[in-house]
Amino acid sequence: MKVVYFDKDIPRILATKAAAKMAKSLLFTGINPVKYKKNLPNTPLPAQDWVRVRNIACGLCGTDVSFFTATTGTDSALEPIPGTKHTYLGHENVGVVTEIGEEVTEFKLGDRVAIRAYMSGCDTKGLKERCHYCEAGDYNFCLNYGTPSPYGELVTGAGWSDSFIYPARGLARIYDELTDEQAVMLEPSCVSVHSVLCAPPKKSEKILVMGAGSIGLGIVQAIKIVEPDCELYIMERVKSKQDFALRLGADHVLEGDPYAATAKATGGSQVFVGMRGNKYFFGGFDRIYDCIGGDWSNHTAVRLLRARGTLVKIGHHMRAVRFDETPIWWQELKIVGVDAHGMEEWLGRRLYTFDLVQEWIRDGIYSVEGFVTHYFKLDDYKAALKLALENPPDVVKIAIDCQ
């Protein structure tokens, strides 16, 4: 069994944090808590409701980069929650079921599957008594996040493994009509669609999407699917990604100074400039989907919204951020957080995001063509992470070939 994992080794984590700031080359040395084992024995299925999956491919996500650079802060709400010694990387996968426990009814040998529930919870630990959130399909709100697995510390693997074991109810079946490359884009597409359905756009709204990576590009599509009659702007520095967003449905690129450009686009007031370049104006977008995260994007986004506008928070860095909260109370803004995916209400139906998005891809409503721009073999995972950190203009989605 080949497995890439994060080792909860505090000295290594601290050294990696320092390296990420001062000498990035050190990230690719032995100090990094992200490790790769090539010859671990396969773990037997711990219960009859688990399956074994042979991975085909898996995307590289910002979360994987966060583990590699150890960016999770000690001030994050995640920090006090008990965790396991090892966290297995990769959750944007497509694989084939090769072994099934006797209690599994939703899959058969040879089915293609993807990891649906990735964060620690009832459906990833194999807890028999599920909390009410997991029972309802909203697995990311699990009340048992800090509860130990009844099976102890198993070597399970995940998306960045040649194979892995998993509770069956934490997986989603891949539709036959989807190619493997489309299936690799399924999980990030679910994040995009869920983000829009958490705070759906309204008719005639002026909307800004900040960032045109794979999530932002998916959000552009989802906005226009949910409400075609809106005016959609994209904030993105890379020209090729601007053009990609325009092909997917964006109406405009927000160019130049974001304050002046937003005031012009939305009919806002003049831009007032104070000390140290501090800027503010009145007016702004009805709705902003922030796919960047961090200090600058939080600080900027709340200043580009109109009074009682809505900020949808998708981008994050798993640490506390610092920004001016004045516009939130002054302009009575609404902030909507997004955590991956779960269950959706769409056209009178209640279904998993994974099923809704597969339907949209299958039916030609939502496209993932051209999103996967680079492939690396599992043995070359460090090269994939190096490219992700460099983030040249031609990168949209990096995928790992696990075969």
Rounded Cα–Cα distance for residues 58 and 93 (Å): 4
pLDDT (0 to 100) of residue 297: 95
Please say whether the beta carbons of 36 and 383 come within 8 A. Answer: no
pLDDT (0 to 100) of residue 84: 82
Please say whether the beta carbons of 333 and 309 come within 8 A. Answer: yes
CB under 8 Å to 44, separation ≥6 — which residues? none
Rounded Cα–Cα distance for residues 350 and 331 (Å): 34
Domain that includes residue 178, residue range: 3-185+368-401
pLDDT (0 to 100) of residue 22: 87
pLDDT (0 to 100) of residue 9: 86
SS3 60: coil
Claim to verify: residue 146 and residue 278 sit in the same structural domain? no
Which of 315, 337, 359 is the last residue before a domain boundary? Answer: 337
Identify whether 128 is part of a domain. yes
The per-residue pLDDT for range 184-240, each reduced to its tens digit, is 999 999 999 999 999 999 999 999 999 999 999 999 999 999 999 999 999 999 999
pLDDT (0 to 100) of residue 311: 98
Identify whether 264 is part of a domain. yes
Q: What is the DSSP letter of 339?
A: -
pLDDT (0 to 100) of residue 85: 87
Size of the chain in residues: 403
CATH of residue 41: 3.90.180.10
Rounded Cα–Cα distance for residues 219 and 289 (Å): 8
Rounded Cα–Cα distance for residues 99 and 45 (Å): 9
Claim to verify: residue 181 and residue 197 sit in the same structural domain? no
Which of 337, 357, 387 is the last residue before a domain boundary? Answer: 337
Alpha helices by DSSP H, 253-339? 258-266, 295-301, 326-330
Rounded Cα–Cα distance for residues 282 and 21 (Å): 37
Claim to verify: residue 39 and residue 173 sit in the same structural domain? yes
Alpha helices by DSSP H, 70-213? 122-125, 132-135, 180-184, 186-198
The pTM (predicted TM-score) of the whole model is 0.96
CA angle, residues 391, 115, 385, in degrees to nearest 5: 20
Identify whether 113 is part of a domain. yes
CATH of residue 294: 3.40.50.720
pLDDT (0 to 100) of residue 338: 96
Claim to verify: residue 277 and residue 379 sit in the same structural domain? no
Two tokens, residue 213: 């990576």
Claim to verify: residue 143 and residue 214 sit in the same structural domain? no
> Which residues of the chain fall below pLDDT 50?
none
Which of 337, 358, 393 is the last residue before a domain boundary? Answer: 337
pLDDT (0 to 100) of residue 316: 84
User: Please, which residues bridge with residue 252 across strands?
Assistant: 233
